[in-house]
Amino acid sequence: MTGQERQYFARARNERTEHIVYGALARRERNPKNRALLEKMSSDEHAHYEFWRTLLPEGDRDAVRPDARQIALMPIVRAVFGLTFAAKILESHEKNSIEEYERILPLIPEARRAELARIIEDERSHERSLLAEIKERRVSYLGFVALGLSDAIVEITGVHAGFLGVTGSTLIAGIAGVIVGFSAAISMGAAAYLQAKQDPAIQPIPSAFITGSTYLCSVIFLALPYFLIRTMIVAFAISSTVGLLLLAAFTFYGAVVFDRRFIREFGESASLMMGTAGATYLLGAAVGYAFHVNSASF
């Protein structure tokens, strides 16, 4: 097999894999419109597979096997992270495919170039269809998850940083974070409820629950190191690392779903978190010094 034929083989394998994955996603999809869209995409990918397969030598055409790992993994990704996320991951592969197909276009037999040009347009239409047509309920509530998560991380990290300057007691800092976080979770849930009432497409009670519960779960993760570790600076470092990891995970999810730039979004969120922590630490240190409580430890 020549180098060019190996490229055809890789393209055929990729298209066959995506044909099978889209078909599997379609069979699991309850929304009729989403299912019809996925079935169409599966059909298109099969046609693309057949195109690349016919460019291979006769003896190699039946050797094209799909990627079994991707076929097994994508339904799990869909179940955990949702259809939109799974489909966007697949479409990110197709964006790379478009660039590769455009590079290959002048190299294939001239009689087949018009067909490849149609395939390139199919891949572009897939991207537009996914952006415009796939509807998923969980995506509608991502803003409320972001509201609870980001606010909790910034606020509770700030509380812990402030106590870093006031006391050497990890227990006091942990309890303070939980108490402040519990109160703030209720407040944020109420605010989300009122906000959702202004949008007929969003249900207020689920919005309030999602915001409040996300906030409270974040508080628990951030406060836990203070109950397990007795050294204040170590507990703060671990808690801050947990906060950054939570921000990174959610920012990546949002970047995939909404086609945003991960590095920029994460950089802004992390800067806000650490900037708040720095400011509250200075305030805590000043208060601790003024009232002579910065050496208290329990």
pLDDT in tens, 96-118: 777 788 888 887 888 888 888 88
Domain locations along the chain: 3-138, 141-291
Task: Answer whether 136's CB lies under 8 Å from 84's CB.
Answer: yes
Task: Answer whether 118's CB lies under 8 Å from 86's CB.
Answer: no
Task: Answer whether 169's CB lies under 8 Å from 297's CB.
Answer: yes
Q: Report the candidate in 36, 40, 43, 261 with the shortest Cα–Cα distance to residue 135.
A: 36
Q: Give the residues of the chain that fall short of pLDDT 70.
A: 1, 94-95, 126-133, 135-136, 293-298
pLDDT in tens, 44-57: 889 989 988 988 88
Q: How far apart are CA 288 and CA 99, in angstroms?
A: 59
Q: How far apart are CA 279 and CA 161, in angstroms?
A: 9
Measured from the Cβ of residue 214, the count of other Cβ atoms closer than 10 Å reads 25
What's the chain's length in residues? 298
Region 3-138: CATH code: 1.20.1260.10
Q: How far apart are CA 236 and CA 172, in angstroms?
A: 13
Query: What is the signed CA dihedral for 141, 147, 153, 157, rounded to 10 degrees?
Result: -160
Q: How far apart are CA 180 and CA 157, in angstroms?
A: 11
Q: How far apart are CA 101 and CA 37, in angstroms?
A: 23
State the pLDDT at residue 231: 92
Reduced to 3 states (helix: H, G, I; strand: E, B; else coil), residue 64 is coil
State the pLDDT at residue 157: 93
State the pLDDT at residue 24: 93
Tokens representing 175?
């309890």
Q: What is the DSSP letter of 111?
A: G
CA angle 104, 107, 112 (to 5 degrees): 90
Question: Phi, psi at residue 149, to the nearest 5°?
Answer: -70, -55
State the pLDDT at residue 298: 47
